[in-house]
Structure 1
Amino acid sequence: MNAPDAADGHGPAAPGAADAPGAAVTAKRSPLARIASALPPGTLLVITGTVVLGAASYIHLMAAGHSLDTDGMAALSVLWTILMSVGIGLFFPVEQELTRIVAAHRVAGTGVSGILRQIAGLTLGMIVLLGAGLAWAAPLLADTFFYGHTEMVGALGLAFAAMGISNICRGVLAGLGRFGPFGWQLGIDGVLRIGLAVGFALAGVRSPLAFALILTVAPLVAALVTSVPVFRGLAAGPFDRWSGLLGGLGPLVVSTLLSQVVVNAAVVSTKLLAPEDGALVAGLLNAIVLARVPLFVFGSLQASLLSGLSTAAAAGDRAGFSRLLGRTSVVVIVLGLAGGVPATLLGPWLIEVLFKSEAGLGHAVFFWISAGTLCYMLAMVLGQALLVLHKHRLQLLGWAVATLVLIGATLLPGEVSTRVCVAYTLASFAAVLGMAAALWATFLRRPRAAAPVAAASGDAVEPALADRS
């Protein structure tokens, strides 16, 4: 296995390193440098790649919008929405589990080839099942969502496969602490999307299929370029019990799907509650895009956070685990306020100028979306901690309760735009309360002496801090 190279900044620092005697030098650094040092190691490398990939998403859709007719753009938009909701719900948990397990194996000094083969096989099975389902329902899906274009259903299946492969690669890289290749993979993916989309637009391409296939080609090429050198150095390692793998991954998949419902329900709910008010639906989508800018940055924090928490837990470093969790929560709060305050104050004006919105949304809508986004990010941080401590079902329970709160609040009487945004905030806040209570009850209020992690046998290495009561 390739050990992380601390000298190149790709490997996570040892827990507690921030409290070393040299910390006096840190106090002399700029405020920006001190904030950066509070982030999990390698985060800034991943942020750079995330920024490029995020910008590529906008440019890709803008280029398609200027090139395709109304039906073609609508078909691409539906494909994009399905991929980003169902795909993330199914395959991002694979990345999270790989990050957690690989980081634990790395601390124990055991190889990860066995567990990698298992999870890769499981992911391949998911891709095959998805592909079979899409093929079986292709005529119906094409008529319902893609204006009869069956080839768009095939493009969706290929995009699912590319996303699954990319998430496997990123899970291994994050678990190994190789955030350099991780960030490069994101950046190369983004650059390819921009180049292909702009190239198609300049060449006068009018096919939605061509723009859809970008979602397959770019991530696959990026994964191959950045992951092959690292994967070649993986050492042989044990397999895990399938019951253990599925027992953790199953609840995590459901949790992620429910979290996607919470974060994406506002626009869908508005379409159902006010189907004739197209301006409101479009304006609310613009408001959400604007107010959720902090989520754009937070996405780059998750991989390094999970790797850092997994490393501390596997090493039995309770203090390091708690310190990283606390610092990340503070960073998330600062991030939420930095994005939410300007969005609340300037949002109504900005969506008119930037998006030509005619919805007439007020400051209250932006406040509720921003507050919901802050709570959602905190819930994601606490959920990561529960995941590392093998409390998958408690994380699932938190998102299940949040989904029920979301449904209940959405069905209350009142103005549609206000209640769907309030529902998002209340649901996210319910998830924070539930996960914080679970984390407190199972870990934070039960101090234990740190124990070194046991060597792995045939099972995956479990965090030494995990509460097994």
Structure 2
Amino acid sequence: MSAEITESSNRSTLHVAVGLGVFGAAHFVFLALAGRDLGPAGTAPVSVAWTLLNAIGIGLFQPVEQEIARRLSAARADGAASGQVTRIVRYVGLAILTVVALALVGYRWLADGPLASGSMVLVVVLGLGAQAFAYYARGILAGTGQFRRYGAQLAVDGGLRIFLSLALFVTGASSQVAYATILVIAPLVATLITVRPTTLMRPLRARPLPDATESPLGGLVAAALSSQLLANMGPIAMAVLAGASQQDLSGRFIAAVTIARIPLFLFTPVQVVVLPALAAIVVRHDWPAYRTTMRKTLLISAALASVGTLGVAVLGPWALSVAYGPAFTIGTSTLVLIAVSGGLFMLAQAYAQSLIAHHRERLIAIGWGIGLVIACATLAVDIELSLRVALALCTGTGAALVTLLLGERKIVRMWRDESQVPPQN
């Protein structure tokens, strides 16, 4: 039985890894083709739309996937046919309405500034709705153990992004809105193709479990949203601070971020594995296992950060030109600072995973929030714009790392002392 469980777990991991690989590659292909087709200035609004969907969409809706998966997994373990997720769906509806309201309030500024047109504002709002639908479906698939379909949804989403962007590039029938619309179509169609309607509806009809606990969604959302805003603030800051004559600089900076932060994509599978392991260790009060797991995670993070930064310092400008075209140039010092900020972010995420395992989501949100404040303060430094934004990414992620590290040490010290108290007879 143990061998069967292990084999099933390995197959599930493989399905998700393949889907994640296609999905991750699609981001680079999409942005590279849009960059080559539209040029540095023309691609800037598309890249900003992509950044906003990553920052806001992941922050608002990835916790939906996590909480639905948790509830459905608990229901399966309890012998129930399904868990009840109506309250989570209400949150999704409220979040989308809030996004629409904010888009209406800031419509003129967004249309005249970072997104360059009203059509792009509409595309971003629709894209967030499509992301919400996709994350809802992934939560159901993960919670019910349908990892083959989970991986398929990611793969189809990524495949559609690659195919559609290639079609636009080859036919020449391209525009900013056309490229951005791919970000709406891909997650929506991928979800409809790979997930049965009955699968999507079943949790909505289920009765709550008698011992169902209240969802910690607020803390999860605050932590996820603040981390994604910090991770993606560079492109957003560039789009806001760059004047009309600097739109090409904004496009080149966003392209540089995708190259310099490749190690962050490689770190994603580490996060997927580490969090469940730490959660189980915390429940068991196994201090030696916790120490070993964190040490390995931090070593992997530091290795990825070091190799990535060195690679960017040596090959960054060449890789940027090969991927996006010779018009996409930026200073090596800026590239290196972006890479350093990515390394600091990985280390901060390692400590954040530990705090999630200890159910300290609010502390995580505080850590990322402090990082955002420090990063915004750094934007006041009077140096060249791209270098200033890259420096802000470093100071912000560095401040978040220190805060999360100190918080993790305090929480773990208390947990370790509790775990070493002998049981009372």
* TM-score for the superposition, normalised by structure 1: 0.73
Correspondence for 2:361: 392
Q: Distance in 1 between matches of 2:126 and 2:80?
A: 31
1:328 aligns with 2:287: no
1:265 aligns with 2:236: no
- Using the TM superposition, give the Cα deviation of residue 178 of structure 1 relative to its aligned residue in structure 2, in angstroms: 5.0
* Residues 187-226 of structure 1 mapped to structure 2, 5 A cutoff: 187-202=155-170, 205-206=173-174, 209-226=177-194
Correspondence for 2:133: 165
Is this contact kept in 1: 2:235–2:250, CA < 8 A? yes
Q: Percent identity?
A: 30
Correspondence for 2:28: 58
Q: Taking structure 1 as reference, are residues 241 and 46 closer, same or farther at Cα in structure 2, changes over 3 Å only?
A: closer
Correspondence for 2:393: 424
Q: Distance in 2 between matches of 1:100 and 1:322?
A: 25
Correspondence for 1:181: 149
- Using the TM superposition, give the Cα deviation of residue 315 of structure 1 relative to its aligned residue in structure 2, in angstroms: 5.8
Range with greater deviation from structure 2 (288-297 or 65-74): 65-74
| CA displacement, residues 245-285 of structure 1 (integer Å, 9 cap, x when unaligned) | 3xx32233333333233223334445666645556544433
Is this contact kept in 1: 2:47–2:254, CA < 8 A? no
Structure 1 spans left out of the alignment, 5+ residues: 12-40, 452-469
Structure 2 spans left out of the alignment, 5+ residues: none
Q: Distance in 1 between matches of 2:66 and 2:150?
A: 14
SS in 1 for 2:9: coil
- Using the TM superposition, give the Cα deviation of residue 117 of structure 1 relative to its aligned residue in structure 2, in angstroms: 2.9
Identify which of 311, 329, 334 aligns with 1:365. Answer: 334
Counting matched residue pairs gives 414
CA-based RMSD: 4.0
Identify which of 420, 435, 440 aligns with 2:409. Answer: 440
Q: Distance in 2 between matches of 1:356 and 1:104?
A: 53
| CA displacement, residues 90-124 of structure 1 (integer Å, 9 cap, x when unaligned) | 11232333445555666x53648444332123213
* TM-score for the superposition, normalised by structure 2: 0.79
Identify which of 47, 51, 66 aligns with 1:96. Answer: 66
Q: Distance in 2 between matches of 1:209 and 1:268?
A: 18
Is this contact kept in 2: 1:267–1:284, CA < 8 A? yes
Q: Taking structure 1 as reference, are residues 283 and 189 closer, same or farther at Cα in structure 2, changes over 3 Å only?
A: closer
- Using the TM superposition, give the Cα deviation of residue 296 of structure 1 relative to its aligned residue in structure 2, in angstroms: 1.7
- Using the TM superposition, give the Cα deviation of residue 190 of structure 1 relative to its aligned residue in structure 2, in angstroms: 0.8
1:9 aligns with 2:8: yes
Is this contact kept in 2: 1:251–1:393, CA < 8 A? yes
Correspondence for 2:124: 156
Q: Which amino acid counterpart does residue 192 of structure 1 have in structure 2?
A: L
1:47 aligns with 2:17: yes
Is this contact kept in 2: 1:405–1:426, CA < 8 A? yes
* Residues 60-75 of structure 1 mapped to structure 2, 5 A cutoff: 60-64=30-34
- Using the TM superposition, give the Cα deviation of residue 376 of structure 1 relative to its aligned residue in structure 2, in angstroms: 0.2
Q: Which amino acid counterpart does residue 238 of structure 1 have in structure 2?
A: L
Q: Distance in 1 between matches of 2:250 and 2:179?
A: 25
1:401 aligns with 2:370: yes
Q: Write 1 or 2 for the structure with the bigger share of helix.
A: 2
- Using the TM superposition, give the Cα deviation of residue 292 of structure 1 relative to its aligned residue in structure 2, in angstroms: 0.2
Is this contact kept in 2: 1:10–1:179, CA < 8 A? no
Q: Taking structure 1 as reference, are residues 371 and 71 closer, same or farther at Cα in structure 2, changes over 3 Å only?
A: closer
| CA displacement, residues 157-178 of structure 1 (integer Å, 9 cap, x when unaligned) | 3321110121123234445565
Correspondence for 2:268: 299
Correspondence for 1:238: 209
Q: Distance in 2 between matches of 1:402 and 1:391?
A: 17
Q: Distance in 2 between matches of 1:77 and 1:371?
A: 21
Is this contact kept in 1: 2:40–2:251, CA < 8 A? no
SS in 2 for 1:446: helix
Q: Which amino acid counterpart does residue 253 of structure 1 have in structure 2?
A: V
Q: Which amino acid counterpart does residue 222 of structure 1 have in structure 2?
A: A
1:122 aligns with 2:91: yes
Is this contact kept in 2: 1:47–1:297, CA < 8 A? no
Q: Distance in 2 between matches of 1:353 and 1:109?
A: 53
Q: Distance in 2 between matches of 1:393 and 1:299?
A: 22
Identify which of 47, 51, 58 aligns with 1:81. Answer: 51
SS in 1 for 2:232: helix
Q: Which amino acid counterpart does residue 426 of structure 1 have in structure 2?
A: T
Range with greater deviation from structure 2 (108-117 or 233-242): 233-242
